[in-house]
Structure 1
Amino acid sequence: MARRVLAGLGLACVYAAVFLAFHPAIVTGDVFLGWDAVNEHWGDLLVPLHALRDGELPLWNPYERGGYDFLADPQTGVLYPFNWLVWLGAAVFGEGPWVVLFKALLHVAIGGLGTHLLLARLGLSSSASAFGGFAFVLSGRVAKAKDSAGLWSPVWLPWLVLTGLELVRRPSPRSGLAFGAATAMAFLSGYPPNFFRDLVGLAPVLLVALALVVRGAPAARRHLAQVAGAGALAVAVVVGLALPNIVATLAWLPETVREQLDFGEVVYSTARPLHLFDALAPGTWRDGAPVHYLGAIALLLAVFAVRRDALRITYAACALLFFLLACGDGFALLPFLARHVPGFGLWRIPAQYFFGFAFFVAVLAAHGFDDLVRAEPARRRALARRLALVFAPACLGLLVALAWSRAPASTGLGAVFVALGGACLGGLLSARPRLRRAAAPAAIAVALLELKVQARQIHDIAQRPPDLARDAALAGLGDRVGWRVADDEHYRWRVGARLGVRDIFGRNSTLVTRRWRAFAARAREHAGLLAAANVRWYAGGHRAAVQRTAAGQSRWTPGQPVELLHAAPLAYWTAQVELVGREDDGLERLAALPPGRAAVLEASQFGADEAAAVAELQPEHAPVPAVLAAFARNRLALTVDAPAAGVLVVNEAWGPGWSARVDGAPAPVLRANYLFRGLLVGPGPHAIELEYGPPRLRAALAVYAITALLVLVGLIRLPRRTGSRGHDAKDMSP
């Protein structure tokens, strides 16, 4: 057991090392990962680490967007065990940007190892398994996704197929636990759209495999019952491990913009079916980075591998399905499914379907490679004819395409690599043993060189290493808790999430609230709204507009953020209440009022008692700032001496999981000032505590812990079920 684990870890490291070698500029430090990796995921990895250091659960993040439910956003991956490895590394070796590179390489290793083990379990040779693993993790889609959350779920697709086939062929409690654990990892990793796409590719493979097993089983009904039992156990594992995320997300979802995803955004794609030919040579028919490129040799081997075999035909059908889905509005399939089939209309960026295309082509290519490696002498001549029938026309077609190619250099190189690859693969059919032994590593080397050269556009996409001097400057602005910053260059920096700086802006994801998105759009050019949100310093690209709307109440030094001198405190008492009837009216009214002097409340949230209390307020007293007693991620404590009955405004975002106690008695948490919290208080001194916890979350976390423990014990202690000869993996492989 220990030897197998060590061998698996070594193999995973090989895949990660080769992937990193394909991106030498990252190794030398000239560039780093781009886009989401640094801008979003770096912060998402550090927020839980900081919370756990402080003895808190990372439920609420108060350091961005005025505060939001951190656990409810699936992309944060709080309950994903492989994120815990990254936290551990950051805790030991430091919190620099290297942590996101480590996470990307970790997932490349997961995808490569899973593909390799799947192919080996199907009975393929070690060289064919390696070829398939490299074809998947070095594909253009995976290489580009090193910068985004899109990478995390798709690398679990090989593991879903591996454990799913095991469950279908040898149903048992152990195989049910393994399949459930792999599925839960794909879900918890943090990108639900690609988890859904994983299931789209998994379903036909398992259905065909089940049909093949049942057809050859002597007791088909009994076998189906065992599969149903193991499948039910797998579903229970997935639900148990995903329950906290589901509970938190469902509680937060009604506040978000997710339900307003436009249909055009769901189906928009720049890919077209004709662009499948770009898989032979990037740029032949389209401009731009080759996001679906996985090597002409791999693609042609996949075509070579297709024959009258149910699973191979299923792999080919899945590859074609994913390519056509990735075409989005360039082909009729995805628009039809998005309109008529639940699930397909929930996700944007159809290009993410290219992950499934890359995986299934890689699996087919490995089968084709294995056919050549293990070719019997009697079949070599027939296989040589089939190989020539696939590779020779492709090479000639690329040479002809040189005349009108958009990238003639790439097209010419494509022809060269197709010819070289075909020659190396042809060597596997030679009658000379020495030539056959050298042909497999030579073919793999040519395929790797082809990927390295032809996919260089993908490998070169990166950003400069992050400049931490800006982080340090913003982190040093005054009291982090008493005042907030507004950094509207959040796509580049997100200082709040990483450094514990309270930022009113942040990542504009699909799970942001409707109110925050509207507030952020107005506040970028309105100093009054920023000041009303407890913002003391503005840093970003709208400095002139912010200064103009500050009406002289600001200070600015070249090279420094704008300081707003009239910012509202973190919390304050006021008896001056402005009632509005509609949600949108609250934002407009807040923009018209002096910051920190009044409370804008929505009448629709009041019951009879609250409405009567508000109607009796006397606004003759000046506002009184509250005193902060404790500030934590999931808890806030304040004291205030109110001269009369009024409203305590807390400039932290409202959320459905917040509860409050005023002098020990429960009190409703109202929406105040459009985005923030408010509490009705009577005259005199008060101690106020606010605490965050989505309903039923504690029970869900207990279920998660118990399920994780049972899965771990079961996978260690339960024996493997050995199937009959009819269920053996090699008998099921082509």
Structure 2
Amino acid sequence: MSVGSEGRDRALWIEIALVVAFVTFVAWPFLSPNQYLTAYDTMTYSGPNLVVTTDQIRDGTVPVWNDDLFGGVPHLANPQVAALYPTRWLLAPLEPARAFDLTIAAHLYVLAAGTFVLLWRRLRLVAPARLVGTVALVGSGTIMARSVQFEQISVIAWIPWLLVATDWAIADRRWRPRALAATAGATAMLLLSGHPQQMYIGIAVVAGWCVGRALDATRPGPTDPGGAGPRAAAIARRAVRVGAGMGLGALVAAPQLVATALLVREAELGANQSLAQASTYGYVIKPSLLAPTFLGNPFAEDLNLTAMGSEAVAFVGVAVIVAALVGLAHGFGDRTRRATVAVLGIAAVGSTLLALGPRCTDAAGELTCSASGLGFRVARAVVPGFSQTRASGRWVLVATIALALLAAFGVDALARRAVTRRSLAVAGALLGALVVVAVVAGPTADGGVDGRTVVWWATGAVVAIGAFALGALAPGRLAPAVGACVLAAVVLIEVTEQASHSMARQHLNDEP
């Protein structure tokens, strides 16, 4: 083994150790043996539903019916119950309150592992890019908010694994049974795990990912024949492979899907969600709060206040934003990842626009809509099933995933000494454009933003920009490594600080 390979192995194990330590810190409210999560949704429906599920599993029956509501209602057919999801059966012997908390903790580890494997094994990124991408996602405001709702985090946790599996199926020129099985397994887990809206969003993420990866995988080489025909055929073959894998996964999940479909057919779900309902203040991102929504605010007493609503919390931190912009700028010049980076950039912007909601108000029966909500209104009118989704702000999950992956690309380019002056200039221009957008949107003191917050943001930005400048401009081989490590440290500081007063920590109680 060469010295270089020994160093890479050591860096890998250090990254894994830091990821495990960070996820354990985030998950500690759910692992603590003497405390329990007592959030509103836990007490009102998630917890009671879990009690019904575990009681019937312990009795040796499939939890099909719930006698405790309205004289009896379908239980298995309710997808949020996830009665056929394997973890429900594995944790059924435990008391429901403890099973609830351990389910969330386990899925935080599943999410982290899937993200790390995606960055390491599929995208072939180097240290510390894999660490940055993983902690940026797991430590994001989106995951902090969703982790107190186990039926949502259970779905989100499988999205990176489905990205891994579909990328595997796309990368090869021929059928790989293991890639097919992995795609089927990840799809089945996603479909069985819980929340319908998060499934819908997750499938959208996977669809965009497959487009980008297929375009990159079929990029013509110097000796390949020209023309669109051969490339279109190659993309079609990959689409068939991915479709076959996901179709097998849907077949595995068929008992749940069929039961839910039969229930939906009998339910009163014909009416779409109104534009006014989709604009509910607490369920959308506010244009005036774009900065604290994505950058966070370590001085806010309640993380929900950074976005004025738990459905819109999405902080990733200043360093992640800077790294993502560098990853975007560098990626456009990298032929091997150009389409993937473009899809991620479009996804980040597009999902943020969707998370704004339709921006409509209903005053005395007269509906008034803002231009900033046009993207949501178009999607609602065109995309099947879009109008049935509830909280518009949940679309910010797509932006969070995209930013985490782009940030990992940026750090990878820095560590490989591939960041150019041109990439820095483009990233700087993009950063300037974002600042202009945030200012034009009309920043307010809402979200607890004050002078201390601005200083925190400015300090993080200066250090992150300095780290990239050091790696790109300073001579020698050591500068890029130092810059990458400094950037990783800033990311860890930002997300750890926000995680230290997460929603889960605010809802702990000594009694279940």
Closer/same/farther in 2, CA of residues 33 and 389 from structure 1, 3 Å limit: farther
Distance (Å, rounded) in 2 between the aligned partners of 1:20 and 1:356: 24
Structure 2 contact 19–112 (Cα < 8 Å) conserved: yes
Q: Distance in 1 between matches of 2:206 and 2:236?
A: 20
Q: Provide Cα deviations, 1:420-470, integer angstroms capped at 9, x if missing partner.
A: 3333444434435555444433322221211233566644663242645xx
Who is 2:313 aligned against?
A: 291
User: Equivalent of 1:189, from 172, 178, 193?
Assistant: 193
Match of 2:328 among 291, 294, 306: 306
User: Secondary structure at the residue paired with 1:152?
Assistant: helix
Q: Shift of residue 253 of structure 1?
A: 2.7
- Does residue 271 of structure 1 match 2:285? yes
Choose which of 240, 245, 256 in structure 2 pairs with 1:234. 245
Give, in whole Å, the separation in 2 of the partners of 1:421 and 1:9.
24
Structure 1 residues 163-182: Cα deviation after superposition (integer angstroms, max 9, x where no partner): 22222222413322221221
CA distance in structure 2 between the partners assigned to 1:221 and 1:100 by the alignment: 47
Shift of 1:324: 0.9
Question: Which SS does the other structure have where 1:185 is aligned?
Answer: helix
**Which amino acid letter does the alignment assign opposite residue 280 of structure 1?**
L
CA contact (8 A) 1:168 1:210 kept: yes
Tell me whether 1:109 sits opposite 2:113 in the alignment. Answer: no
Measured in 1, the distance between the counterparts of 2:264 and 2:132 equals: 43
RMSD of aligned alpha carbons? 3.7
* Cα distance in 1 for residues equivalent to 2:380 and 2:43: 32
Indicate the SS of the match to 2:91: helix
SS of aligned partner of 1:74: coil
State the match for 1:411 in structure 2.
Answer: 454
Rounded to whole Å, the distance in 2 between the matches of 1:444 and 1:352 is 27
Contact 1:275 1:285 in 2 (8 A): yes
Provide Cα deviations, 1:522-562, integer angstroms capped at 9, x if missing partner. xxxxxxxxxxxxxxxxxxxxxxxxxxxxxxxxxxxxxxxxx
CA-to-aligned-CA distance 1:297-340 (integer Å, 9 cap, x gap): 11121112223222211110011111111111231111222233
Matches within 5 A, 1:297-376: 297-307=319-329, 308=332, 309-330=338-359, 331-376=373-418
- TM-superposed CA distance for 1:51, in Å, is 2.0
Aligned to 2:8: none
Give distance in 1, aligned partners of 2:163 and 2:321. Answer: 21
Matches of 1:277 and 1:394 in 2, distance apart? 9
Give the superposition deviation at 1:39. 4.0
Deviation at 1:272, TM superposition (A): 3.5
Q: Distance in 2 between matches of 1:40 and 1:157?
A: 25
How far apart in 1 are the matches of 2:466 and 2:411?
A: 13
1:61 aligns with 2:61: no
Of 386-395 and 404-413, the range deviating more from structure 2: 386-395
Q: Which residue of 2 aligns with 1:447?
A: 491
1:465 corresponds to: 509
For the residues of structure 2 that align with 1:223 and 1:403, how far apart are their CA atoms? 48
Give me the whole-angstrom Cα distance separating, in 1, the residues matched to 2:195 and 2:109: 18
In 2 relative to 1, CA 373–349 (structure 1 residues): closer, same or farther, beyond 3 Å? same
Whose strand proportion is higher, 1 or 2?
1
Query: What does 1:171-570 align with in structure 2 at a 5 Å threshold?
Result: 171-172=174-175, 173-216=177-220, 220=231, 223-224=234-235, 226-260=237-271, 262-263=273-274, 264-268=276-280, 269-278=283-292, 279-282=294-297, 287=308, 291-307=313-329, 308=332, 309-330=338-359, 331-376=373-418, 381-382=421-422, 405-406=445-446, 407-408=449-450, 409-429=452-472, 430-434=474-478, 436-454=480-498, 458-459=502-503, 462-465=506-509, 467=511
1:60 and 1:393, CA in 2 relative to 1: closer, same or farther beyond 3 A? closer
CA distance in 2, matches of 1:302, 1:262: 34
- When residues 364 and 403 of structure 1 are mapped into structure 2, their CA distance, relative to the original with a 3 A threshold, is closer
Are 1:161 and 1:202, in contact at CA under 8 Å, matched by a contact in 2? yes
| Cα distance in 2, alignment partners of residues 252 and 397 from structure 1 | 44
Distance in structure 2 (CA, Å) of the matches to 1:10 and 1:78: 38
Conservation of the 8 A alpha-carbon contact between 1:142 and 1:151: yes
Identity between Structure 1 and Structure 2 (%): 22
Letter in 2 for 1:81: P
Q: Which residue of 2 aligns with 1:35?
A: 40
Looking at structure 2, the residues matched to 335 and 402 of structure 1 have their Cα atoms a distance apart, in angstroms, of 22
- Residue 222 of structure 1: CA displacement? 6.4
1:387–1:426: 8 Å Cα contact kept in structure 2? no
Amino acid at match of 1:370: D
Query: Relative to 1, partners in 2 of residues 1:320 and 1:95: Cα closer, same or farther, differing over 3 Å?
Result: same
**Equivalent of residue 82 in structure 1, options 87, 96, 99:** 87
TM-aligned CA deviation for residue 207 of structure 1? 2.2
Name the counterpart of 1:166.
168
Find the counterpart in structure 2 of residue 152 from structure 1: 154
Separation of aligned partners in 2, 1:12 and 1:65:
49
Distance in 2 (CA, whole Å) between partners of 1:434 and 1:18 is 27
CA distance in 1, matches of 2:442, 2:391: 31
Report if the CA contact (8 A) 1:395-1:418 is conserved.
Answer: no
1:385, CA displacement in angstroms? 5.2
**Residue type of the partner of 2:116?**
H
1:183-208 CA distance string (max 9 Å, x none): 22111111111111112222233123
Q: Displacement of 1:16 after TM fit?
A: 5.9
Give the structure with the higher percent helix: 2
Residue identity opposite 2:488 in structure 1: I
Q: Any idea what the Cα deviations from partners look like across 1:361-401, whole Å, max 9, x if unmatched?
A: 1111110111111015xx65555556666679989999999
CA distance in 1, matches of 2:470, 2:439: 23
- Matched residue SS, 1:97: helix
Q: How much has 1:156 moved relative to structure 2?
A: 2.1
User: 1: distance between equivalents of 2:398 and 2:19?
Assistant: 19
- Work out whether residues 170 and 213 of structure 2, in 8 Å CA contact, stay in contact via their aligned partners in 1: yes
Comparing 344-353 with 417-426, which one deviates more in the overlay? 417-426
Separation of aligned partners in 1, 2:437 and 2:498: 17
Query: Hey, what's the Cα distance between the residues in 2 that align with 1:431 and 1:10?
Result: 26
Q: Which amino acid aligns with 2:126?
A: S
- For residues 6-39 of structure 1, the C-alpha deviation after alignment (integer angstroms, 9 at most, x for no partner) is xx99988964642442476664957735232454
Q: d(CA) in 2 for partners of 1:400 and 1:249?
A: 45
- Separation in structure 1 between the aligned mates of residue 17 and residue 270 of structure 2, nearest angstrom: 41
Name the amino acid aligned to 1:421. A
Which sections of structure 2, spanning at least 5 residues, go unmatched? 1-11, 333-337, 360-372
Partner-residue secondary structure (3-state), 1:328: coil
Higher relative contact order (CA 8 A, sep 6+): 2
Instruction: Give the drift of 1:286.
Output: 5.9
C-alpha separation between the residues in 2 aligned to 1:116 and 1:53? 35
Aligned residue identity for 2:374:
A
Q: CA deviation at 1:157?
A: 2.1
Contact 2:154 2:193 in 1 (8 A): yes
Q: 1:22 to 1:156 in 2, by over 3 A?
A: closer
Q: Is the 8 A contact 1:16 1:106 kept in 2?
A: no
Deviation readout 1:79-108 (Å, 9 max, x if unpaired): 222333333xxx2xx415232221112121
Amino acid in structure 2 at the alignment position of 1:71: L
One-letter amino acid matched to 1:109: Y
The CA distance in 2 between the partners of 1:456 and 1:444, in whole Å, is: 18
Q: TM-score under structure 2 normalisation?
A: 0.77
Write the mapping of 1:565-714 to structure 2, written as runs, cut at 5 A: none
Letter in 2 for 1:182: A
Alpha-carbon separation, structure 2, partners of 1:41 and 1:65:
17
Contact 2:215 2:235 in 1 (8 A): no
Superposed CA deviations along residues 568-594 of structure 1, whole A, max 9, x for unmatched, are xxxxxxxxxxxxxxxxxxxxxxxxxxx
